[in-house]
Structure 1
Amino acid sequence: MTASRTGQCPFAPAADDGAPRPAPRAAAASTAVVPGSAAPVADWIDPAELMADPYPSYERLRAEAPVAWVPALNKYLVTSFAECQAVEQDQEVFSANVSGATMNRALGARPMLRKDDPDHGADRQAINPTLRPRNIKETWAPVFERNARTYLEALAEQGPDRADLNRDYAAPVASQNLIDLLGLKDVAVADMRRWSHAFIAGTGNLLDDPGIWARCDAAQGELDGLLAELIPHYRRHPDGSMTSALANSGLPYDNVAANVKLTISGGMNEPQHVATNMVWALSRHPDQRARVLAEPSLWPAVFDETVRWLSPIGMYPRETTRPVVLGGVALPAGAPLGIVVGSANRDAARFDNPAAFDVFRPRQAHLGFGSGVHLCAGHWAAKTSIGQLAVPLAYERFPGLRTDDRRAESWDGWVFRGLTSLPVTWDS
């Protein structure tokens, strides 16, 4: 079944004579509403299939309907690179301030990622100095290296027959790095991981699972209790942490708390999954792994290609502020959009042989960390902590590090996607 055009989607304008007609794709949005460009309806999309492996559905959507209404998700999915990029370049038409955003519900307030400028810029300005490349290199890289070496020893204690790279290394390293970067005193790695997973699950809770909301509420309550002490502390005793920077920015208390929670969600999730994804990808491409190990200057390319190929952030929402045409589809004001960067990063119109993992492909910008004003503020921290330290140090510590095919791995998610278990082994 192709994307259905037989039904009127709830937000699509009708054709002028009542008969839906296809329209040519456009690489960018237009403010003119084109009669007869009702959105195709992808009624074949199954959320369970997206959770298991979204890439076949993405490929079909790009081929049949790069902008399509998906009844199962109650939103339009935008799956091509050109259209996703067009959305990111126009925050006046495609707003991040989304009605009923799951992220707002998950975090208990509206963080900077659900704001447009100038409000977004005011929040982000507070943390920019902490996350600048020079400060990451000079201040935080030694902290990240210390944490990586600590948990490499914990991985070694599990041994090559029991080690799980996610459980024993990637997740605790990402957690401890975030604890230090945020200045969350006396927080245990297990608590950071639990909070992050709760917020991520809530942000991706498009099906409104009450159990997920219960976990989010519990995490909010615990963290709110901690921040009620820490924010006043950092206002009296500032340091170089992100929480201190936010606390002393002049932002309202609720803004500070919401942005700390935002950092906990993405700041652990992305680095954790990139670490496991890099090892998973290199294990399945041994020729590339051999070249990388022989030429350490290739590690930045491994990081970038992994983020493109296996995007940890798969989709985020936007909402139209007025009628607009995107990809040849007329959208009304208030249309809920899902910007599927996990699909855009495998668009053949943008990348040669996009389904292949290739660390030697020509350098080309992808959307794995977003784009425009909402480009991920922590991407330099992730690239340094994972791409330059955690993963290269793991291969240095464990010769022959690779996935262990004797034990099962597990993946989960499409709004956020990654390995939840990755058994690994190495040469004793």
Structure 2
Amino acid sequence: MTATADWVDVAAMLRDPYETYARLRAQGPVVRVPALGRHLVTGFAACRAVEADQATYSADVSGSGATMARALGAKPMLRQDDPRHEAERAPINPGLRAKSIRATWVPRFAHNAESQLDVLRERGPERAELNRDYAAPVAARNLVDLLGLPEATPEGMQRWSHAFIAGIGNLGDDPDVWARCDAAQREVDEHLDALIPHLRRHPDPSMTSALVNGGLPEPAVRANVKLTISGGMNEPQHMITNMVWALSRHPEQRDRVLADPALWPVVFDEALRWLSPIGMYPRETTRATVLDGVDLPRGTILGVVIGAANRDPAVFDHPERFDIARSQRAHLGFGSGVHLCPGHWAARIAVGEIAVPRLYAALPGLRTDTRREEAWSGWVFRGLTDLPVTWGPPAL
């Protein structure tokens, strides 16, 4: 018999989902949640099993797939299974490998971080807010460069991303959300109208060029550019603030990494596990199956809650702790299987090797400013919306 959690409070999850995740895991690795109209998969092994079997657990999800296609103009690779998913992803894979990122994009990532550090310094340690003044603009600038949209602005990129994400989640069919989403679609398409023919004649290292020259039909090119805009902002942006938030609350670990910069990739991975920016994504069963002992009929909508799986005590010792000294275990922060996030090396390098280390090097004594309020939001996508920071010697 499938466990049911009729006690789940969605509003509480938006504030902080981790207590709910722990209670769900205690009920079982797969639990039906009526308030969400789906089964939530919270166990690490169960989440891995879903991603290992796309024939049984499809990414082409009813409802969610339809809103994503509506929001982006066509169904992108994220809501497709192989072989279509593989065909649309193949053009961008070579340019997103670690070697390619280091050879092509590291100078741009460094330039973007340094430019935005000037904004933080101008704000000063009494007024700086890390999300607004650094994390979001750096993520947006990097995305403008990776996509090769020369006329786009960081402000426009942030606005488009927010509009597309709202549209993808618009299961309630809110007309205001669709209006914002449609406006973002038109603006992006205007950029692509001129850019696509140019890139056919003059290929460059950008992701858009790879898609344009990868043999894909034009609607697929446009949908996957918009998919990258929707998803390419959140994780890098939230990882910058998450890492600073975590280190500010664990000063002994912050001191360790400042003394040994080789630990920055470890900090990135542990923050990604502990505070997963992408908390959940959907799947749908294509046939009756049994997942970790739970019977699931064909057509069951699942929420693969990697934010919960990354704190599964069956896999991680004291998972509720942020601990850069823990034994390194594979987590699910970037997903797994064939749908592993293609931009994971770009995020690791842009954030873990450049944006956050340079932030601490430029602003000695950087820490969250507890005199001002911080704010978190979300559980499907979760991150800090406000993170006041300060630097310099602590006040006496």
Please indicate the TM-score interval, normalised by the length of the shorter structure.
over 0.9
Q: How many angstroms apart in 1 are the aligned matches of 2:365 and 2:172? A: 42
Bigger Rg, which one? 1
Letter in 2 for 1:79: T
Q: Note if 1:370 corresponds to 2:370.
A: no
Deviations 1:295-332 (CA, angstroms, capped at 9, x unpaired): 00000000000100000100000000000011221111
Q: 1:122 is matched with which residue: 87, 91, 105?
A: 87
Q: How many angstroms apart in 1 are the aligned matches of 2:313 and 2:106? A: 36
Give the total of aligned pairs: 391
Q: How many angstroms apart in 2 are the aligned matches of 1:234 and 1:175? A: 21
Q: Give 1:42 deviation, angstroms.
A: 1.2
2:161 corresponds to: 196
TM-score by length of 1: 0.89
Q: How many angstroms apart in 2 are the aligned matches of 1:107 and 1:249? A: 19
Q: Say whether the 8 Å CA contact 1:155–1:169 is kept in structure 2.
A: yes
Letter in 2 for 1:237: H
Q: Note if 1:72 corresponds to 2:16.
A: no
Structure 1 gaps, min length 5: 1-36
1:15 corresponds to: none
Q: How many angstroms apart in 1 are the aligned matches of 2:74 and 2:116? A: 34
Letter in 2 for 1:99: S
Deviations 1:125-152 (CA, angstroms, capped at 9, x unpaired): 0101110111101110111001000000
1:155 corresponds to: 120
Q: Give 1:40 deviation, angstroms.
A: 2.0
Q: How many angstroms apart in 2 are the aligned matches of 1:49 and 1:210? A: 26
Q: Secondary structure at the match of 1:338?
A: strand
Letter in 1 for 2:350: S
Deviations 1:154-187 (CA, angstroms, capped at 9, x unpaired): 1110000000110000000000000001000111
Percent of pairs with identical residues: 66
Q: Give 1:71 deviation, angstroms.
A: 1.4
1:226 corresponds to: 191
Q: 1:97 is matched with which residue: 43, 60, 65?
A: 60
1:138 corresponds to: 103
Q: How many angstroms apart in 2 are the aligned matches of 1:170 and 1:230? A: 27
Alignment RMSD (CA, Å): 1.2
Q: How many angstroms apart in 1 are the aligned matches of 2:308 and 2:73? A: 29
TM-score by length of 2: 0.96
Q: How many angstroms apart in 2 are the aligned matches of 1:132 and 1:227? A: 25
Q: Note if 1:388 corresponds to 2:358.
A: no
Q: 1:398 is matched with which residue: 363, 366, 383?
A: 363
Structure 2 gaps, min length 5: none
Q: Give 1:108 deviation, angstroms.
A: 2.5
Q: Say whether the 8 Å CA contact 2:63–2:171 is kept in structure 1.
A: no
Q: How many angstroms apart in 1 are the aligned matches of 2:163 and 2:103? A: 32
Q: Give 1:210 deviation, angstroms.
A: 3.9
Letter in 2 for 1:413: G
Q: Is the helix fraction higher in 1 or 2?
A: 2
1:415 corresponds to: 380
Q: 2:145 is matched with which residue: 177, 180, 190?
A: 180
Change (3 A) 1:175 1:319: same
Q: Say whether the 8 Å CA contact 2:151–2:191 is kept in structure 1.
A: no
